[in-house]
Amino acid sequence: MTEADPQLTGETAELLQVMIRNACINDGTPASGGEVRNAGTVDDALDGLHLDHYEPISGRRSVLATVEGSDPDAPTILLLGHTDVVPVSPDDWREDPFGGELIDGEVWGRGAVDMLNLTSSMAVAVRHLATRDHPPRATVKFLAVADEEAGGTWGAGWIAENAWDDVACDYVLTERGGVPFDGADGRKLVMASAEKGIGWRKLVVHGTPGHGSMPYGADNALITAAEIVRRLAAYQPRAQINEHFRAWAATLPVDDATRAALLDPDTIQAALAGMDPHLSQYCHAVTHTTFSPNVAHGGTKTNTIPDRIELDVDIRTLPGVTDADVEVMLTEALGDLADRVSIEDPVTTRAATTSPSDTPMFDLLRRRAAAVHPGAEVIPWMIVGGTDAAFFRERGIPSYGAGMFSPKASLQEFASRFHGHNERIDLDSLGLSTQLWIDLADGISP
Ligand SMILES: [Zn+2]
């Protein structure tokens, strides 16, 4: 089946509206989130199914539902959806970000694309599979998790660590895929099969304290830190032209000379500099381990020369790059200022993860995409941020960022709604994603 079922589409939209209104805002603090509200909504939606709950700290509740399949040889599929959302700047929205209004065929609100749309479509698909007159071929687990937006500590990360047997599976399907677009060589859809690693560091820049009235020749840690920030911003490790980037580069609306230059580590920097920033940002991120100095703390008083400045650097690593490699890169970036800095142990670190794109599940995703969007070819995509898929990939489970969307929003417009203002999703996309999960559960072969 290819068409979305209008009944199920309506159910997904209604569930999405409730989940948006529950406003499970995760600001990164343990006391935020309140995903117990969306967990309760999932409980209500899946009343009668076998459910397990995880709540490692108060309010951060996750739910697991299981529907047994008919074919004992079929792989087990885990549908993984997060229930938290990031904060908003309400004044910049055209509609109430927590109103969950349906306006001109679109559901509005925080989480409408990241990722309550998919989480609600997964819940409705699982309910349909469990309550229709025949079971799915594959056993399907649906895990609605807290805390994805702050790294999964109280959600998928905790569950993978403490309740692995409950969520063990053969494939994971989660966010960040399925948006169609017209590339230079035809219609495409991205499905994520990899994501970059995280290697956050805190750099402590040292100086010598003194009186602010006599700055001449002073060893001012803030001035040293300013130069370190400049060097980090300018630092470019050598590009890695990986298979994900090759597939992506083929779709780019650039001339052949630019495309060739992008695929050569010696010329990619110059080619990026000449491109539209909307295109070059991702191209840069997917080919480089990146360093972004994003937080500075230090100094105590206007009349005191500071002896200590802390810099938080967001480092995102490519596949194959280790913690030791990051240390080498930092030393190279800092140059003769390296001995003025102590680097604290990694604050958050997780290696990049990659799943093969030649599995029966990825083949099925390719076939579903081509059925819904005739002629569309699927590109295995590398996410440059982080998702909960990493907890499963690093335990050897092929995990894909999937979904199925209508062409109503361009890939660029769609991407801008993640954590952006005026987040919204069209009903067709809600129906197509709901149908995708059903089709995968019925269509996957051993
Ligand atoms: Zn998300």
Q: What is the pLDDT of residues 226-284, one digit of tens each?
A: 999 999 999 999 999 999 999 999 999 999 999 999 999 999 999 999 999 888 999 99
C-alpha of residue 382 to centroid of ligand 1, in Å: 15
C-alpha of residue 287 to centroid of ligand 1, in Å: 22
C-alpha of residue 116 to centroid of ligand 1, in Å: 8
Let me know if residue 233 belongs to a domain.
yes
pLDDT at 398: 98
pLDDT at 2: 61
C-alpha of residue 315 to centroid of ligand 1, in Å: 19
Name residues of the chain where pLDDT drops below 50. Answer: 1
C-alpha of residue 387 to centroid of ligand 1, in Å: 7
pLDDT at 95: 97
C-alpha of residue 120 to centroid of ligand 1, in Å: 13
Let me know if residue 134 belongs to a domain.
yes
| Residue 334 burial class via C-beta count within 10 angstroms: exposed 0-12, middle 13-18, buried 19 and up | buried
Give me the CATH number covering residue 340: 3.30.70.360
C-alpha of residue 83 to centroid of ligand 1, in Å: 9
pLDDT at 347: 74
C-alpha of residue 119 to centroid of ligand 1, in Å: 10
C-alpha of residue 385 to centroid of ligand 1, in Å: 10
Q: Are residues 158 and 232 in the same domain?
A: no
Let me know if residue 117 belongs to a domain.
yes
Q: Are residues 284 and 397 in the same domain?
A: no
Let me know if residue 189 belongs to a domain.
no
Q: Are residues 12 and 128 in the same domain?
A: yes
C-alpha of residue 412 to centroid of ligand 1, in Å: 17
Let me know if residue 190 belongs to a domain.
no
Q: Are residues 169 and 30 in the same domain?
A: yes
3-state SS, residue 441:
helix
C-alpha of residue 250 to centroid of ligand 1, in Å: 27
Our count of domains for the chain comes to 2
C-alpha of residue 11 to centroid of ligand 1, in Å: 21
C-alpha of residue 383 to centroid of ligand 1, in Å: 11
C-alpha of residue 203 to centroid of ligand 1, in Å: 28
Give the residue from 280, 293, 271, 436 showing the smallest Cα distance to 368.
436
Residue 346: give the domain boundaries. Answer: 197-350
* Tens-digit pLDDT profile for residues 105-163: 999 999 999 999 999 999 999 999 999 999 999 999 999 999 999 999 999 999 999 99
C-alpha of residue 86 to centroid of ligand 1, in Å: 9
Region of 34 (left: φ > 0; alpha: ψ -120 to 50; beta: rest) is left
Let me know if residue 52 belongs to a domain.
yes
CA dihedral defined by 32, 34, 38, 43, rounded to 10 degrees?
Answer: 140
C-alpha of residue 153 to centroid of ligand 1, in Å: 14
Region of 47 (left: φ > 0; alpha: ψ -120 to 50; beta: rest) is beta
C-alpha of residue 386 to centroid of ligand 1, in Å: 9
Environment of ion ligand 1 (residues, CB < 5 A): 114-115, 175
Let me know if residue 51 belongs to a domain.
yes
C-alpha of residue 17 to centroid of ligand 1, in Å: 17
C-alpha of residue 214 to centroid of ligand 1, in Å: 50
pLDDT at 346: 73
Residues β-bridged to residue 353: 195
How distant is the alpha carbon of residue 429 from its chain centre?
19
Residues β-bridged to residue 313: 201, 293
Chosen domain end from 294, 324, 350? 350
Q: Are residues 41 and 16 in the same domain?
A: yes
Bond before 115 cis per omega within 30 degrees: yes
Let me know if residue 154 belongs to a domain.
yes
Q: Are residues 320 and 405 in the same domain?
A: no
Q: Are residues 321 and 424 in the same domain?
A: no
Q: Are residues 48 and 178 in the same domain?
A: yes
Backbone φ and ψ of 322, nearest 5°: -100, 170
Chosen domain end from 350, 385, 418? 350
Give me the CATH number covering residue 167: 3.40.630.10
Rounded (to 5) percent helix, strand, coil in the chain: 35, 25, 40
C-alpha of residue 175 to centroid of ligand 1, in Å: 6
Q: Are residues 30 and 42 in the same domain?
A: yes
Strands 377-383 and 186-195: parallel
Q: Are residues 438 and 400 in the same domain?
A: yes
C-alpha of residue 241 to centroid of ligand 1, in Å: 27
Q: Which amino acid is at 118?
A: L
C-alpha of residue 226 to centroid of ligand 1, in Å: 33
Tokens of 65: 């539902």
Q: Are residues 121 and 23 in the same domain?
A: yes
Q: Are residues 326 and 210 in the same domain?
A: yes
